[in-house]
Structure 1
Amino acid sequence: MPAAAFESLTVDAEGLPLHVRQRGPQGAPAVLLLHGWLDHSHSFDPLCEHLPEAWRTVLLDFRGMGESGHVGPGAAYHFSDHLLDVEATLDGLALPPVHLVGHSLGGIVALAYAAARPERVKSLTLIESLGPSGGPPTGAVQRLRGFLGDSRRPPNRKRYPTVEAAAERLRQANPTLSPDAARLFARHGTRRTPEGDFAFTFDPRHRRRFGQGFDEAQWLALEAAVTCPVQLLRGTEGLSPAPELLEARLAALRTLAAPPRFFEGGHHVHLEQPAAIAAAIAAFVATPATEASSS
């Protein structure tokens, strides 16, 4: 079903408007898809064309990205804020326990939310996502220094003469991104400025470093707290934790349903293989253990 079938809605996150899109409000099960860093909900459009029409499918733009509101002057973005975005979406749409699908940052948020709110999550599908790169505890001081340094740097919203130029810039930053995927990101992720050129809609303050982060022990504790079934989908040319971390992270996911599944592609494999990734999600959501899970 084409993306046009989705209805745009706004939910409130303690005064901050969040943009969500929903298809099949009377459908079941409820599935919430969470996008990656500096992306937006339209990054799932090709995937959604292959997902079951009977589902209640919801797409969220994280705060400061896509068409969601930006935080006010003097404020910053923190990882835990995105868990508030998920909670606001579930509450604002009165969603039952959901199946969470997250790509990259969205997968990290989905996993952390499932650990904190196990009663609200039926399953996790993580696409190219297995946790942050927090580093050792000794990195805490340098992280704070980076955060303070970035806070002095004025936000820089780059301008592009055309949407195509913005798409080309995305490909320069991520060479594995296909031309079609880059155009999709740029078409839905830019806005014409009063001067007539184009700028990305995400808040450039998202590029500032976090002041706090999870070290490896903390992240493994979060993984161990997840009680719902989990599947991990990866691209053959995608990103991965360092080999010495990967084994421990996989072992900490006690409800991992099967070994990670690989699909030909890079970090945005769900854009390169939308039908195959959608089929994997649909089959996983339909398994009895996954459908029965709610705690």
Structure 2
Amino acid sequence: MALSPSEQRLSMPGGRRQVAVRVWGSLEVAAKDCPGKRWIAVHGYLDNASSFDKLAPLMVEQGLASAVVCLDLAGHGLSDHKETYHAIDYVPDVIFAADSVNWEAFSLLSHSLGGGVAQG
């Protein structure tokens, strides 16, 4: 049976903007599983969360992940725009996504711009 993602819009503190995520797998299972099976995926420049639509479900189906939270960075996909777009300015969005799903520890999957964000 093919997996389907759940889509959520998370309101940033202060309600000024929203960040969209696509979740593959189960956040409930991930909450009980080891942090190594919790993944946040951060896409590249001119991409969005659906960049991981082939890889994320495979990670879950193969048992490499309990859940993969694919983030739409600000100004991409379904996330709201913001004032600045430097790589370091996206880091709070990743931390906010992790906090929203109650993950203190997780692994990052990223490419291109997302790789720079992951290093921030």
- Same fold by TM-score, threshold 0.5 exceeded? yes
Question: Where does residue 206 of structure 1 map in the other structure?
Answer: none
Larger Rg: 1 or 2? 1
Question: Where does residue 88 of structure 1 map in the other structure?
Answer: 96
Work out which of the residue numbers 35, 40, 43 in structure 1 matches 2:51: 43
The residue type paired with residue 41 of structure 2 is: L
**Where does structure 1 lack aligned partners over 5 or more consecutive residues?**
113-295
**Which string of whole-angstrom CA distances, capped at 9 and with x for unpartnered residues, describes residues 59-103 of structure 1?**
0000000110112xxx33222220011011011121230110111
> Are 1:30 and 1:96, in contact at CA under 8 Å, matched by a contact in 2?
no
Quote how far apart the aligned CAs of 1:19 are: 0.2
**Which string of whole-angstrom CA distances, capped at 9 and with x for unpartnered residues, describes residues 78-129 of structure 1?**
22220011011011121230110111111111122xxxxxxxxxxxxxxxxx
> Are 2:87 and 2:113, in contact at CA under 8 Å, matched by a contact in 1?
no
**Which string of whole-angstrom CA distances, capped at 9 and with x for unpartnered residues, describes residues 202-229 of structure 1?**
xxxxxxxxxxxxxxxxxxxxxxxxxxxx
> Are 1:30 and 1:98, in contact at CA under 8 Å, matched by a contact in 2?
yes
1:178-217 alignment, distance < 5 Å = none
Q: Is 1:27 equivalent to 2:24 in the alignment? A: no
The residue type paired with residue 92 of structure 2 is: L
> Are 1:13 and 1:84, in contact at CA under 8 Å, matched by a contact in 2?
no
> Are 1:12 and 1:88, in contact at CA under 8 Å, matched by a contact in 2?
no
> Are 1:2 and 1:45, in contact at CA under 8 Å, matched by a contact in 2?
no
For residues 35 and 52 of structure 1, the distance between their equivalents in structure 2, rounded to whole angstroms, comes to 18
1:132-171 alignment, distance < 5 Å = none
1:1-295 alignment, distance < 5 Å = 2=2, 5-14=4-13, 15-23=16-24, 24-28=26-30, 29-53=37-61, 54=63, 55-71=66-82, 75-112=83-120
For residues 39 and 72 of structure 2, the distance between their equivalents in structure 1, rounded to whole angstroms, comes to 15
> Are 1:19 and 1:60, in contact at CA under 8 Å, matched by a contact in 2?
yes
Secondary structure in 2 matching 1:36: coil
Instruction: Please identify which structure carries the higher strand content.
Output: 2
Instruction: Please identify which structure carries the higher helix content.
Output: 1
The residue type paired with residue 93 of structure 2 is: D
Question: Where does residue 34 of structure 2 map in the other structure?
Answer: none
Q: TM-score, normalised by structure 1?
A: 0.34
Secondary structure in 2 matching 1:100: strand
> Are 1:61 and 1:68, in contact at CA under 8 Å, matched by a contact in 2?
yes
Q: Which moved more, 1:57-66 or 1:86-95?
A: 86-95
**Which string of whole-angstrom CA distances, capped at 9 and with x for unpartnered residues, describes residues 176-218 of structure 1?**
xxxxxxxxxxxxxxxxxxxxxxxxxxxxxxxxxxxxxxxxxxx
The residue type paired with residue 10 of structure 2 is: V
For residues 77 and 33 of structure 1, the distance between their equivalents in structure 2, rounded to whole angstroms, comes to 18
